[in-house]
Structure 1
Amino acid sequence: MFDLDLPWWEYVVRGVAIYGALLVMMRLSGKRTIGQFTPFDLLVVMLLSESVSPGLTGGDDSVAAGLIVVVTLVALNVAIAFITARSRKAADLVEGTAVLLGRDGKIFKEALRRNHVAESDLEQSLREADCPREKMKYAFLEADGKITILQH
């Protein structure tokens, strides 16, 4: 049950490598992808977890290997949270920053395109904020993928 197929440190290295790779991929996929899951996005997340599982443990199904990987992933998550809470640069790098999508009733179509936001999503956010387009002062795509509307 506690016999390992690989040296203990290899599980740590595997966990760090896969965590880092997935973090980079999630950042590259864009804010809107993270903030608004479709059924297809959920399917991708489920398949990602299944596909990286053997890579984390090297095929070792022992309890010890699983615990080493879990501790590594939780420690990485705590470390990232600690660092981003104390460094604005690190937070911007890991979490991203808000993007201006529109100002004074004008929608910036290039910003929508660059951030993979459909104009209909912005219009929906305007309706949810009970804000006609002409009364929109600012529209932001937040780092978490939500659209924030500020009115005049």
Structure 2
Amino acid sequence: MILTPMFDSMFHVPIPILEKLLRPIVVYLVLVLLLRIFGKRELAQLNPFDLVVLLSLSNTVQNAIIGDDNSVTGGVIGAFSLLAINWFVVRLLFRSPKLTRALEGRAVVLVRDGQIDNKALKTEALTREELIEVIHRQGFEHIHEVHHCELEPNGSFYIEGKDPSIADKRHDELLTRLDALSKEIAALRSRPATT
């Protein structure tokens, strides 16, 4: 049959299946370790250089994951292996907060009461300009408007302003009005009905 050679090349796995399962797991664990060592900055993608590194990582480790295999079966086995190790690691971290802190690290405070912690910036390899850019993206004009800024283990930033934001002020105003309306309704209900 003419289709037999095509299906053989599509689905034949030239390397042992156990090796095919182990390659993605090893690469996954090494990448998790390396991202932990090199810091949160790589996850935050703060500048074009960091983004290029992250995009290049996938291409760099591709051959380590698939080996000399371009078959559909090999791709499915590799994908299964990556998803399985990720599923296992996520559940393990969910059940163990201590292990989560050890692998992910802790949040780092970069700004306290409008003052930049230069030592923390240096530890995280962030420039003052990069931090200010992040603060601007969050709607703050100046660093002195920021009460607290943390770089979270996942690379995101938590920023708390000194003064409530416009949205917070509107929310508080809305709650005050709702409370006043509730009191008026309660007062109207407590009045005896007149006929």
1:2 to 11, 19, 24: 11
- Tell me, which stretches of 5 or more residues in structure 1 are unaligned? none
| CA deviation map 1:18-46 (0-9, x unaligned) | 11111111222211221125333333333
Q: Is the 8 A contact 2:42 2:54 kept in 1?
A: no
**What number of residue pairs does the alignment pair up?**
152
Structure 1 match to 2:21 = 12
Asked if 1 retains the 8 angstrom alpha-carbon contact of 2:111 and 2:149, the reply is yes
| Bigger relative contact order (CA 8 A; separation at least 6) | 1
1:105–1:136 contact (8 Å) kept in structure 2:
yes
Residue of structure 1 in register with 2:84 after alignment: 75
Distance 1:126 1:113 in 2: 17
Match of 1:137 in 2: 147
Does 2:49 match 1:23?
A: no
Relative to 1, partners in 2 of residues 1:4 and 1:126: Cα closer, same or farther, differing over 3 Å?
Answer: closer
Aligned positions of 1:33-48 closer than 5 A = 33-48=42-57
CA shift for structure 1 position 108: 1.0
Q: 1:62 maps to which residue? A: 71
SS of aligned partner of 1:143 = coil
8 Å Cα contact 1:32-1:146 kept in structure 2? no
Indicate the RMSD between aligned Cα atoms, in angstroms.
2.1
Q: Aligned to 1:51, which of 57, 60, 63?
A: 60
1:94 aligns with 2:103: yes
Comparing 72-81 with 136-145, greater Cα deviation is found at 136-145
The structure-2 alpha-carbon separation of the partners of 1:82 and 1:110, relative to structure 1 and needing over 3 Å to count, comes to: same
1:84 corresponds to = 93
Structure 1 or 2, whichever has the larger Rg, is 2
CA distance in 2, matches of 1:7, 1:23: 25
- Corresponding residue number in structure 2 for 1:119: 128
Letter in 2 for 1:121: E
The answer (yes or no) to whether the contact 1:101–1:112 under 8 Å persists in 2 is yes
Q: 1:42 & 1:133 partners in 2: Cα distance? A: 25
> What's the CA shift for 1:5?
1.5
Structure 1, 25-34 or 71-80: larger mean CA deviation: 25-34
How far apart, in 2, do the equivalents of 1:37 and 1:135 lie? 21
State whether structure 2 residue 115 is matched by structure 1 residue 106: yes
> Structure 2 stretches of 5 or more lacking a match?
1-9, 163-195
Aligned residue type for 1:103: R
2-side partners of 1:55 and 1:10: how far apart?
11
Instruction: Give CA deviations for 1:73-117 in whole Å, capped at 9, x if unaligned.
Output: 001111111112221122223333211112122211011010011
